[in-house]
Amino acid sequence: MCVTCGCGGEQEHLPTKEREEGHRHSHAHESDHSHSHDTPGERERKIRLEQDILGKNDHLAEHNRDRFHRDRMLVLNLVSSPGSGKTTLLERTLEALSGAFPMGVIEGDQMTSLDADRIARTGTPAVQINTGRTCHLDAHMIAHGLEKLPRLTGGVLFIENVGNLVCPSSFDLGESVRVALLSVTEGEDKPLKYPYLFEGSPVVCLTKIDLVPHTGFDRDLFTASLARVRHDARLFELSSRSGEGFSRWLDWIREGVLEASRGSRSREATFS
């Protein structure tokens, strides 16, 4: 079950056997906890654990991060509400950067492979992870998703997280940078309503800006909301349909790929 909202269930993306073997082979790790024996009751005893409840995910995320670093890859974790334009942004981005360096995509959705199918049509290798009743991707799912992609040494991996502004905030996937998307059809105050997600995203894309004349989206109000939650967020305002603002976004990715290929961490690194 999802630790954050309780909306989840078992990880249904992999057969049980594979999950167990995966744990036994690559993720086995011992917790080093100490315990005292100051017994509070007759047959009772107190055990000190002091363990991070999300420690297992964090541990696996570090494994992923080490691997990405070894392969000198840039990894972007795209998070947003459903319908903000993540897949369309990815399609346009992949088309524009085609042939420049190796690229791959991990798509997270509760059900269907519709998004991975769309990505595959751009010629980029894509893996679909169905999270079933779970509302976010976690580091373990990413580790297994990677097994189905070619090596992306010196390139970029895009992870399209499940459309959700709540739970993905808590789960480090090992990415270089978490990128939050918000479309101009949503409210300017979303960063204030979902502060955990925006606070954890050093980069924000404001999408569908070609629709501003129709939605009356107030950019100043939005940037003020964002600044309250994350004053140093790097903001890209763009439209996947018209292409406006796209060159800055693409330049930023190219720069990130170059930095990663030199073995340095991105300036916007989500986790240092």
Partner 1 sequence: MESLMDLLEEARKKEGFSRVRSLRVTVGAFSCVDPGALRFCFDVVTRGSVAEGAVLDIEPVPGTGWCFGCNREIRLDGPGEGCSLCGSVRIQRTAGDDLRLEDIIVE
* Nearest distance, CB of residue 1 and partner 1, angstroms: 4
Quick check: 189 and 138 in contact, CB under 8 A?
A: no
**What is the rounded distance in angstroms from the CA atom of residue 76 to the CA atom of residue 82?**
18
Query: Cα–Cα–Cα angle for 135, 105, 130, nearest 5°?
Result: 30
Q: How far does CA 191 lie from the centroid of its chain?
A: 17
Residue 249 CA to its chain's centroid (Å):
17
- Which amino acid would we find at residue 97? L
Closest distance of CB 94 from partner 1, Å: 31
Helix 139-147 / helix 55-70 crossing angle, nearest 10 deg? 40
Question: Can you point out the beta strands (E) in 110-253?
Answer: 126-130, 156-160, 177-183, 203-207, 234-237
Binding range to partner 1, per CB under 8 A, among 39-47, 77-85, 116-124, 240-248: 39-47
| 79-87, 194-202, 238-246, 251-259 -> range binding partner 1 (CB under 8 A) | 194-202
Tokens standing for 92? 């346009």
Stretch 240-269: interaction string toward partner 1, x if CB under 8 A: ------------------------------
Q: Which of positions 129-168 make contact with partner 1 (CB under 8 A)?
A: 166-167
**Span 174-193, contacts to partner 1 by CB under 8 A:** 191-192
Tokens (6 digits) for 157:
């991996």
**Smallest distance, partner 1 to C-beta of residue 72, A:** 29
Token duo for residue 145? 């998703």
Stretch that binds partner 1, among 46-54, 124-132, 146-154, 243-251 (CB under 8 A): 46-54
Nearer to partner 1, 51 or 242 (CB): 51
Task: Check: CB of residue 131 under 8 Å from CB of residue 108.
Answer: yes
List 19, 69, 228, 265, residue binding partner 1 (CB under 8 A): 228
Q: Is 16 in the site for partner 1 (CB under 8 A)?
A: no
Residue 42 CB, shortest distance to partner 1, in Å, is 9
CB of 48 to partner 1, least distance (A): 5
| Phi and psi at residue 264, to the nearest 5° | -100, 155
Residues that bind partner 1 (CB under 8 A): 1-6, 31, 33, 35, 40-41, 43-57, 166-167, 169-170, 191-192, 195-196, 198-199, 227-229, 231
